[in-house]
Amino acid sequence: MRADTEQDILKTELWWTALVTAVVTAIMLAIIYAGLVHHINPPSNIETVDPKTLHLTGEFTEGNLGTRVDGSQITSRIVATQFAFQPQCIVMPANRTVTLRFATPDVIHGILVTGTNVNTMIIPGYVSQVHTVFTKTGDLLMPCHEFCGLGHSQMWATVRVVPEDEFKPGPDGRVTCDAR
Amino acid sequence: MTHARRLTLAHLWVAFAAFAIAAVLGVWQMWARSPLPAPYLTAQAYFTSVTAHGVSMAYVLTTFMVMGFGYYVAETTLGRPLPYPRLAWLGFALGILGTLMAAATIFAGNATVLFTFYPPLTASPFFYIGLVLVVVGSWIWCGLMIVAMLDFKRVNPGTPVPLAMFATVANAVMWLWTTVGVAAELLFQVIPAAFGWNEAIDVGLSRTLFSWTLHAIVYFWLIPAYIAFYTMAPQAAGGRLYSDTMGRLTFILFLIYSLPVGMHHLFMDPQQSSAFKFLQMSFTALVAAPTLLTVFTISASMEIAGRLRGGKGYFGWIAALPWDRPMVLATGMAFFMLWFGGGGGLINMSFGMNAMVHNTSWVTAHFHLIFGGTVVIMYFAIAYAIWPTLTGRQPASLRHQRLQLWLWFIGMMVMTLPWHYLGLQGQWRRVATFNYADPVIAGWGPWVIVSFAGGIILLASALLFVWNLLEFHRDRAVVAPEHPPIYALAVHPPNRVPAALNGFALWNVLVLVLMIAAYGYPIAQFFIIDAPEAIVHRVTGGG
Ligand code: HEM
Ligand SMILES: [Cu+2]
Ligand SMILES: [Cu+2]
């Protein structure tokens, strides 16, 4: 490598800077592409809900939790509390677009579903919404992945993914783990 | 010993004492998470330990290291006594007082909120006040570094500020900006809640303010390592710094781009929109630039050293480097870990792929590799390089220093590689005990045990490090040269540099503009949408 004059050094450094810029740009483009084409976007719906009245009124009252089919929409509503999920088990059909909606009345929680890309924080004051398609059937683990107090290690739920033809909503449109 | 050196010695001993205690806790945590039965294991004990480990490693080790090293750099590069040494001791005292306060609340079981203390969980108010005192102590340090640089410029008009000092002041300026977020969160939201003056807290706002701090703080920890890369490693290798200008540019880029990017910690959060997440992700990609520039400049500097020592061919210069010198060895290992860590970082920062790894063990493994590995191994090398000038003595042989570095490097690899893999399998973080009866989790067991073994190697290295430092103070140590050259000259040392590369006024304006663009609306929105508040949950009283 030449380093006889300042100019030599500057020239080499400029080449390298150009290369670095190109690499960074390429990475950016890949991310934009993934975001647009594969709809890989993090949950960002800024939808507020009052933690103090969560279980008293509205969407997250006890009777409305779990999986429910409404026309072509399949939605599961889950409440995360210290230190359990309500319900502890949800049923989801394989190979269909489904929506998961989470809220909490107390502290910060978060979930992931092992073996999938489902991942969101659950922040008191907001509804976290994730769309996904489950491709593998079976019981998947859905732990709370953000420290929420001393019982955090014991906080998990199950996502039961069933083949599409075994996914049969009751007359009220609901599907529960017990019914199966 | 000059005043600055006494200050340096005091700060670094506090830093490394905290480090040694935290290393013991870290290994016990690894044990607890493994299928092997660990002693004293309860949820209370585990989260007390993780809080203490995180606070010691992330706040105490780093802050005291940065401050102590900064005083050293100021005195040795500027060639003038440190301004206001009494204030420096005040900063030190505040740091100690704050650390002891925080430690007391943690070990009393009144602060099991981890080092990120996400509200509405709230600890004893004295935990936060302790942390605030540490930060206030570091603000005094920032002021002193800036004053020292301005004094130098006044007395030596037109002379470039030496690179190591320029970088130290860049860090001080950055740290002042960085701490605004967490200080606002603590003073306006968390501490009032901890005292019971508030019963509810806006969690979206508090997370956003914390994210303001959360990325730049990593660069605050990292910059001493970069100072060593640019100024100490080429000297130790017997070469020169390839380009002084590139060094200045790198530290300026860190100042600018480490701040408006914190929202990449909130990718999976529902209270911020995709637009701002995307904006900050774009800035995050730009942070890769100074790191890649550094890789190039330092490799070129090392190549110069290798060729001066007779190395030939494309790779011959690598073998010709004096790998027996701890600074050179540590730099090589740090770069190796930086490649792994940097690759992992690219995954974390990408908007979509983050969903795969967010809050899994991948993240914990990633920052142990890059922070505990790359950065902390350079802390060791810096300590070995400057300690002889602090005590006037050094051990007769460097064998134990090399052994210690190797153990750290190997331990880090053995611990973090399986830990990354477990994260990809979905293992989540911050868990005291896993339910190994579950068949999925049972499959993870062997890998956790391998990680645990890596942790034991790391603990051995940490203890050997403290022992090596004590060697410098022993009677059997030999007399060290009084003024060894520490900082490398550039191939073409600058006679003059443009004002923009010799100070920070212009860059502060740019940071202000970027911060308003990146964080203005995301913070303001909480006052516009009238976000619902969460009820405060206090963890005090050991329960
Ligand atoms: C002896 C070597 C070390 C071992 C065995 C070790 C082990 C661990 C373990 C097991 C955890 C808990 C992870 C969890 O519960 O998810 C942890 C957390 C952590 N460690 Fe280390 N560690 C070591 C060194 C370090 C170093 C050198 C640093 C940084 C300088 C560091 C910084 C942290 C931080 C910031 C956390 C996060 C705590 C949290 O999630 O709240 N550790 N470490
Ligand atoms: Cu939880
Ligand atoms: Cu949790």
Question: How many angstroms separate the CA atoms of B59 and B294, rounded?
Answer: 25
- Classified as helix, coil or strand, A133 is strand
Contact residues on chain B for A121, CB-CB shorter than 8 A: 266, 268-270, 359
Q: Which residues contact A156 (CB under 8 A, 6 or more apart)?
A: A85, A141, A142, A143, A144
Residue B106: is its pLDDT beyond 50?
Answer: yes
Q: Of the candidates B270, B289, B534, which has its C-beta nearest A45's C-beta? A: B270
Place of tokens 């009393």: B108
Nearest CA to ligand 1 atom 28: B372
Residue B543: is its pLDDT beyond 50?
Answer: no
Q: Which of B388, B383, B380, B385 is nearest to B406 (CA)?
A: B380
Q: Do you find a cis peptide bond into B251, omega within 30 degrees of 0?
A: no
Residue B2: is its pLDDT beyond 80?
Answer: no
Q: A146 in contact with B at a CB cutoff of 8 Å?
A: yes
Distance from CA of A71 to the nearest CA of B (A): 26
Question: How many angstroms separate the CA atoms of B425 and B130, rounded?
Answer: 38
Question: How many angstroms separate the CA atoms of B39 and B61, rounded?
Answer: 27
Give B331-390 as a DSSP string.
Answer: HHHHHHHHHHHHHHHHHHHSTTTHHHHTTBHHHHHHHIIIIIIIIHHHHHHHHHHHHHHH
The whole-number pLDDT of residue A29 equals 82
Nearest CA to ligand 1 atom 26: B372
Q: Which of B28, B30, B50 to mutate to test the pocket of ligand 1 (most atoms within 8 A of CB)?
A: B50
- Number of domains making up chain B: 1
Taking the CA atoms of residue A103, residue A127, residue B519 and residue A23 in that order, the dihedral angle to the nearest 10 degrees is 100
Nearest CA to ligand 1 atom 7: B26
β-strand pairing of B537-538 with B121-122: parallel
Could you count the other beta carbons within 10 Å of the beta carbon of residue A68? 18
Contact residues on chain A for B113, CB-CB shorter than 8 A: 147
pLDDT tens digits in sequence order for chain A, 180 residues long = 556 677 888 888 888 888 888 888 887 787 777 766 665 556 677 888 899 998 888 899 988 999 999 888 999 999 999 999 999 999 999 999 999 999 999 999 999 998 888 999 999 999 999 999 999 999 999 999 999 999 999 999 999 999 999 998 988 899 999 865
The answer to whether residue B524 sits within a structural domain is yes
The whole-number pLDDT of residue B111 equals 94
Sequence letter at residue B483: H
Please tell me which residue, B485 or B126, carries the higher pLDDT value: B126
Beta bridge mates, B65: none
Q: Which of B359, B441, B444, B527 to mutate to test the interface with A (most CBs of A within 10 A)?
A: B359
The DSSP output letter for A149 is: S
Question: How many angstroms separate the CA atoms of A24 and A20, rounded?
Answer: 6
Residue A122 CA to ligand 1 center (angstroms) comes to 24
Residue B351: is its pLDDT beyond 70?
Answer: no
Residue B257 CA to ligand 1 center (angstroms) comes to 26
B52-83: per-residue pLDDT in tens?
999 999 999 999 999 999 999 999 999 899 99
The answer to whether residue B543 sits within a structural domain is no
Q: Which of B232-246, B301-315, B367-381 has the highest mean pLDDT?
A: B367-381
- What CATH number does the domain containing B399 carry? 1.20.210.10
Contact residues on chain B for A23, CB-CB shorter than 8 A: 288, 292
Place of tokens 């732990």: A143
Q: Which of B409, B386, B292, B276 is nearest to B345 (CA)?
A: B292
The DSSP output letter for B199 is: S
- Domain ranges, residue B510: 3-538
Work out the pLDDT band at B286, boundaries 50, 70, 90: confident
The whole-number pLDDT of residue A38 equals 61
Tokens of B63: 């802050």
Q: Which residues contact B363 (CB under 8 A, 6 or more apart)?
A: B348, B357, B423, B429
Contact residues on chain A for B488, CB-CB shorter than 8 A: none
Question: How many angstroms separate the CA atoms of B382 and B376, rounded?
Answer: 10
Please list every protein residue whose CB sits less than 6 Å from any atom of ligand 1: B 23, 26-27, 29-30, 33, 50, 53-54, 57-58, 61, 114-116, 364, 368, 371-372, 376, 429-430, 455, 458-459, 462
Q: Of the candidates A107, A120, A143, which has its C-beta nearest B537's C-beta? A: A107
Q: A51 in contact with B at a CB cutoff of 8 Å?
A: yes
In degrees, rounded to 5, the angle at the alpha carbon of residue A63 between the alpha carbons of residues A60 and A66 is 70
Q: Which residues contact B136 (CB under 8 A, 6 or more apart)?
A: B91, B94, B98
Question: How many angstroms separate the CA atoms of B77 and B81, rounded?
Answer: 11
- Contact across the interface for A127 and B270, Cβ inside 8 Å: yes
B208-248: per-residue pLDDT in tens?
999 999 999 999 999 999 999 999 999 999 999 988 988 99
CA distances from residue B319 to B206, B312, B314, B377 in whole angstroms, order as listed: 51, 9, 11, 21
B440-480: per-residue pLDDT in tens?
899 999 999 999 999 999 999 999 999 999 999 998 889 98
Q: Which residues contact A95 (CB under 8 A, 6 or more apart)?
A: A133, A134, A135, A164
Q: Which residues contact A141 (CB under 8 A, 6 or more apart)?
A: A113, A114, A156, A158, A159, B426, B438, B440, B441
Question: How many angstroms separate the CA atoms of B443 and B303, rounded?
Answer: 45
Q: What separation, in Å, do the N-terminal and C-terminal C-alpha atoms of chain B show?
A: 48
In contact, B508 and B169? CB cutoff 8 Å: no
In contact, A83 and A58? CB cutoff 8 Å: no
Residue B542: is its pLDDT beyond 60?
Answer: no
Nearest CA to ligand 1 atom 19: B54
Residues 347-386 of B with CB under 8 A from A: 350-356, 358-360
Q: B301 in contact with A at a CB cutoff of 8 Å?
A: no
- Contact across the interface for A16 and B296, Cβ inside 8 Å: yes
The answer to whether residue B162 sits within a structural domain is yes
Question: How many angstroms separate the CA atoms of B298 and B228, rounded?
Answer: 10
Q: Where in the sequence numbering do the catalytic residues of B fall?
A: 215, 219, 366-368, 429-430
pTM: 0.95
In contact, B161 and B87? CB cutoff 8 Å: no
The answer to whether residue B176 sits within a structural domain is yes
- Classified as helix, coil or strand, B354 is helix
Nearest CA to ligand 1 atom 41: B114
Distance from CA of A18 to the nearest CA of B (A): 10
Tokens of B281: 């992700």
Residue B343: is its pLDDT beyond 80?
Answer: no
B380-433: per-residue pLDDT in tens?
999 999 999 999 999 999 999 999 999 999 999 999 999 999 999 999 999 999
Work out the pLDDT band at B352, boundaries 50, 70, 90: low
Distance from CA of A155 to the nearest CA of B (A): 10
The answer to whether residue B477 sits within a structural domain is yes
Question: How many angstroms separate the CA atoms of A66 and B317, rounded?
Answer: 64
- Contact across the interface for A46 and B271, Cβ inside 8 Å: yes
Is residue B478 packed enough to be buried (19+ CB in 10 Å), middle (13-18) or exposed (0-12)?
exposed
